[in-house]
Chain A
């Protein structure tokens, strides 16, 4: 069910939400959080779709703050979705115009679900995430460095501005790689890793985070090598006395794990979609210490190759 409220107020939206919830009764599921999406018109539809999909695991009230033109008169258009169109969540899409575009935090305040955590997500480029008014409302802030023109620069910005509760989806995209590498070290031979090379696209923030994480955890030299833009994470090589552990994904789909004395193992290593990464982000509502370490401490430890 989709209800449009053109040129409206937050009071009317609140009333509508209460009314819809009591009318549809059974659909009023236990929402565990409010997810605020800060987005522009171009990215709005995709972001809302991804959020709805992710909210199947994490029932939430989803509020999309879509900034329109800042010129002209202030105006608020709202769209409320419930039921099948909302994947079981409540979705409120707010389109802000005029002076109101600068006051998104004030607009969402009356609409936040009671007594539950607030998560903010910037699917596109973002600045001053934690110190922005929306960032101050939220205890969890999710960015996506890969969406801007220069993902690695965006990641360094995240590093400079880091506050507890921040994470970047580039980190979620490295999770599967991290899991495989960690599992490889669970098994014999138990030898320290003496050095690491991580290869990835020049525009791959996940590669940088993975390298930073390995540098912090393994306390050994880590080199970051470059591949062509758009190739994503390509290769990790961890040197050990008995020979290297290598995880290779040349085609962005299928990976190969190579270890000395063992046959090559192929595995599915497709880049997770936005909804999947968002769902992973939403399953943690506290600060991600391991991310902080990889970002803040790890990045400077990595040697960037010149080739």
Chain B
């Protein structure tokens, strides 16, 4: 009996049947830029702790913070600890923390400081020797896009972006991926100049959410839904991402960007792609991406943009029980700003499956409540063997995928109102919910995505081509809006401007109340 063969990609201890065996990342370090930012503090650091607590980070895992603060490693560790204690999903355990904190380092410096990056390179080399990070590093750029250029140039100059044999260097970037097609290309060139296309991971945290992945299961693992998932049965699709908050503290970023660039370009068009795409040959990264790109390339804007888009700016009002100011009165916003805080657009998908089925996308700040959902609204039955009065309360059937909060799926259909005598049909809902009691144990989107980066598993990350295709769709809208002056006002706490309601009314439809 000769021992089992082992080679790259052949590991006798791994077996496709072995679903228990966790995927633990190989030796590596993460370098985080913008480690004092909101995102890092609230999401990324807690997610890293949770991964450590679940035993999915490699032994010897190290995290290096890079920033301006005059911190030593201990002060950095203290900051991380505070963020973890405040934000981690799993319970805080000293054992886990001790092992994680052993690998925390801080490098102080500016983005244009050669010496600081040389020190970063030296820090990574030292970690490699002390803790065995295997020469593998992921650089998380949690920084504004205008800082990408100097940071990438520095990573290049200091040799940090160069991967040696058997080791990897990856870079993680967050939206916005540019503000139009041209700038997205430029940004991409900046990053791709230094890192290979396969080493760039663009995070759209929506794609890490359970429900979004469940959309693929719902569509492609079931016999029940796919047969009606086309223009024969579907009347239209509404994709909504509503926020109840204003631009709190993000004025500098938001003014001049607006709702469409901030949300539609990435999140909503990704959700559209997953809703409308054909079945991929497999769930491998390339296959999934091929289908997403195909459907995004088939998305068209209607000719007359005045009738196919709507935008708005929130004005002072009551957000639920709280009195809030208008957008133009927010700190740091130019009182003459034409930036939209609400955007809605009607899109058509030029494929056989979706011909004639409009996709309505909307997003906004200071709307009625915080909700993200995909609603597939079905046509009415071609013939109703009831009297008109029997079905006057019957709406259109719908499948609603609730992305957040209260993740789950709702099916809406007509049902007889109980009682003798007259036949009366009314809408009822059937609900599947991941339920608050269960999601507390299901991983956060960032946990999933960070682990996927460390494992080098790319299916959930959009590639540059998808980014380009999305900008191609949005650029025309942005140019159209730029000529139109001020957006229409809408009172905070409502469901957007009147023009948005009119957009659907023209098609004899209306927005769902999500």
- The CA-CA distance from A182 to B58 in the complex, in Å, is 12
**Whole-angstrom distance from the CB of B401 to the nearest CB of chain A?**
15
One of A56, A58, A178, A190 near B440 (C-beta < 8 A) = A56
- The CA-CA distance from A217 to B4 in the complex, in Å, is 7
Q: Could you say which residues of chain B place their CB within 8 Å of the CB of A279?
A: 441
In the complex, what residue of chain A is closest to B131 when comparing beta carbons? A263
Task: Give the A-B pair count, Cβ closer than 8 A.
Answer: 142
A192 and B6 within 8 A (CB)? yes
- The CA-CA distance from A57 to B90 in the complex, in Å, is 13
B6 and A265 within 8 A (CB)? no
Q: Please tell me if A228 contacts chain B, counting CB pairs below 8 Å.
A: no
Q: Could you say which residues of chain A place their CB within 8 Å of the CB of B4?
A: 192-193, 217-220
Q: Please tell me if A87 contacts chain B, counting CB pairs below 8 Å.
A: yes
- The CA-CA distance from A191 to B4 in the complex, in Å, is 10
In the complex, what residue of chain B is closest to A196 when comparing beta carbons? B3
**A178-B95 in contact given A30-B433, A88-B438, A265-B131 (Cβ < 8 Å):** no
Q: How many residues does chain B have at the interface if contact means C-beta atoms less than 8 Å apart?
A: 51
One of B8, B20, B93 near A284 (C-beta < 8 A) = B20
A186 and B26 within 8 A (CB)? yes
Q: Could you say which residues of chain B place their CB within 8 Å of the CB of A181?
A: 13
**A267-B21 in contact given A88-B438, A185-B13 (Cβ < 8 Å):** no
Q: Please tell me if A212 contacts chain B, counting CB pairs below 8 Å.
A: no
Per-position 1/0 for B105-146, Cβ under 8 A of A: 000000000000000000000000111101000000000000
A290 and B17 within 8 A (CB)? yes
Interface size class of A (residues with CB under 8 A): 35 or more
Q: Could you say which residues of chain A place their CB within 8 Å of the CB of B436?
A: 88
Q: Could you say which residues of chain B place their CB within 8 Å of the CB of A259?
A: 132
**Whole-angstrom distance from the CB of B49 to the nearest CB of chain A?**
12
In the complex, what residue of chain B is closest to A259 when comparing beta carbons? B132
A192 and B5 within 8 A (CB)? yes
- The CA-CA distance from A288 to B19 in the complex, in Å, is 9
**Whole-angstrom distance from the CB of A151 to the nearest CB of chain B?**
20
Q: Please tell me if A115 contacts chain B, counting CB pairs below 8 Å.
A: no
**Whole-angstrom distance from the CB of B104 to the nearest CB of chain A?**
14
**Whole-angstrom distance from the CB of B455 to the nearest CB of chain A?**
10
Per-position 1/0 for A208-231, Cβ under 8 A of B: 000000100111100000000000
Q: Please tell me if A257 contacts chain B, counting CB pairs below 8 Å.
A: yes
Q: Please tell me if B24 contacts chain A, counting CB pairs below 8 Å.
A: yes
**Whole-angstrom distance from the CB of A37 to the nearest CB of chain B?**
19
Q: Which of chain A's residues 160-190 have a Cβ closer than 8 Å to chain B?
A: 172, 175-176, 178-183, 185-188, 190
- The CA-CA distance from A186 to B99 in the complex, in Å, is 22
**A265-B59 in contact given A218-B12, A289-B17 (Cβ < 8 Å):** yes
Q: Could you say which residues of chain B place their CB within 8 Å of the CB of A254?
A: 95, 99
Q: Please tell me if A14 contacts chain B, counting CB pairs below 8 Å.
A: no
Q: Could you say which residues of chain B place their CB within 8 Å of the CB of A266?
A: 59-60, 99, 102
- The CA-CA distance from A263 to B58 in the complex, in Å, is 13
**Whole-angstrom distance from the CB of B212 to the nearest CB of chain A?**
19
Q: Which of chain B's residues 54-108 have a Cβ closer than 8 Å to chain A?
A: 55, 58-60, 93, 95-96, 98-99, 102
**Whole-angstrom distance from the CB of A111 to the nearest CB of chain B?**
21
B1 and A219 within 8 A (CB)? yes
Q: Which of chain B's residues 126-173 have a Cβ closer than 8 Å to chain A?
A: 129-132, 134, 166
B15 and A290 within 8 A (CB)? yes
- The CA-CA distance from A280 to B13 in the complex, in Å, is 19
In the complex, what residue of chain B is closest to A266 when comparing beta carbons? B99
In the complex, what residue of chain A is closest to B12 when comparing beta carbons? A217
A187 and B3 within 8 A (CB)? no
**Whole-angstrom distance from the CB of A286 to the nearest CB of chain B?**
9
Q: Please tell me if B329 contacts chain A, counting CB pairs below 8 Å.
A: no
In the complex, what residue of chain B is closest to A291 when comparing beta carbons? B20
**A56-B59 in contact given A182-B21, A219-B2, A280-B20 (Cβ < 8 Å):** no
Q: Please tell me if B442 contacts chain A, counting CB pairs below 8 Å.
A: yes
One of B8, B96, B432 near A190 (C-beta < 8 A) = B8
B7 and A190 within 8 A (CB)? yes
Q: Please tell me if B223 contacts chain A, counting CB pairs below 8 Å.
A: no
In the complex, what residue of chain A is closest to B4 when comparing beta carbons? A219
Q: Please tell me if A16 contacts chain B, counting CB pairs below 8 Å.
A: no
- The CA-CA distance from A238 to B397 in the complex, in Å, is 60
Q: Could you say which residues of chain A place their CB within 8 Å of the CB of B441?
A: 56-57, 279
A265 and B132 within 8 A (CB)? yes
In the complex, what residue of chain A is closest to B20 when comparing beta carbons? A175
Q: Please tell me if A29 contacts chain B, counting CB pairs below 8 Å.
A: yes
**Whole-angstrom distance from the CB of B22 to the nearest CB of chain A?**
4
B55 and A191 within 8 A (CB)? no
- The CA-CA distance from A56 to B90 in the complex, in Å, is 13
- The CA-CA distance from A16 to B192 in the complex, in Å, is 64
B22 and A179 within 8 A (CB)? yes
A178 and B437 within 8 A (CB)? no
Q: Could you say which residues of chain A place their CB within 8 Å of the CB of B178?
A: none
A87 and B21 within 8 A (CB)? no
- The CA-CA distance from A280 to B19 in the complex, in Å, is 10
**Whole-angstrom distance from the CB of A182 to the nearest CB of chain B?**
4
- The CA-CA distance from A178 to B18 in the complex, in Å, is 11
Q: Could you say which residues of chain B place their CB within 8 Å of the CB of A265?
A: 27, 58-60, 131-132
Q: Please tell me if A59 contacts chain B, counting CB pairs below 8 Å.
A: yes
- The CA-CA distance from A183 to B17 in the complex, in Å, is 16
**A220-B3 in contact given A186-B11, A188-B166, A190-B8 (Cβ < 8 Å):** yes
Q: Please tell me if B435 contacts chain A, counting CB pairs below 8 Å.
A: yes
Q: Please tell me if A114 contacts chain B, counting CB pairs below 8 Å.
A: no
Q: Please tell me if B14 contacts chain A, counting CB pairs below 8 Å.
A: yes
B19 and A268 within 8 A (CB)? no
- The CA-CA distance from A288 to B17 in the complex, in Å, is 8
Q: Could you say which residues of chain B place their CB within 8 Å of the CB of A180?
A: 24, 59
- The CA-CA distance from A54 to B59 in the complex, in Å, is 27
B96 and A268 within 8 A (CB)? yes
- The CA-CA distance from A172 to B17 in the complex, in Å, is 15
- The CA-CA distance from A177 to B132 in the complex, in Å, is 19
One of A56, A175, A218 near B13 (C-beta < 8 A) = A218
**Whole-angstrom distance from the CB of A61 to the nearest CB of chain B?**
14
- The CA-CA distance from A290 to B19 in the complex, in Å, is 9
**A172-B55 in contact given A178-B13, A265-B131 (Cβ < 8 Å):** no
B17 and A188 within 8 A (CB)? no
B432 and A182 within 8 A (CB)? no
Q: Which of chain B's residues 1-48 have a Cβ closer than 8 Å to chain A?
A: 1-8, 10-15, 17-27
**Whole-angstrom distance from the CB of A229 to the nearest CB of chain B?**
23
- The CA-CA distance from A145 to B413 in the complex, in Å, is 49
**Whole-angstrom distance from the CB of B483 to the nearest CB of chain A?**
49
Q: Please tell me if A71 contacts chain B, counting CB pairs below 8 Å.
A: no
- The CA-CA distance from A257 to B99 in the complex, in Å, is 13
Q: Which of chain A's residues 119-156 have a Cβ closer than 8 Å to chain B?
A: none
Q: Please tell me if A3 contacts chain B, counting CB pairs below 8 Å.
A: no
Q: Could you say which residues of chain B place their CB within 8 Å of the CB of A263?
A: 60, 129-132
Q: Which A-B residue pairs are the 7 nearest by beta carbons?
A: A88-B437, A265-B59, A265-B60, A182-B13, A267-B59, A192-B3, A220-B3
Listed by A's residue number, 9 A-B pairs whose Cβ atoms lie within 8 Å are: A29-B435, A29-B437, A29-B438, A88-B437, A185-B11, A190-B7, A190-B10, A265-B60, A280-B20
Q: A178-B20, A218-B4 are in contact. List 10 more A-B contacts (CB 8 A).
A: A30-B435, A182-B21, A183-B25, A185-B13, A193-B4, A217-B13, A262-B134, A268-B52, A268-B93, A270-B93
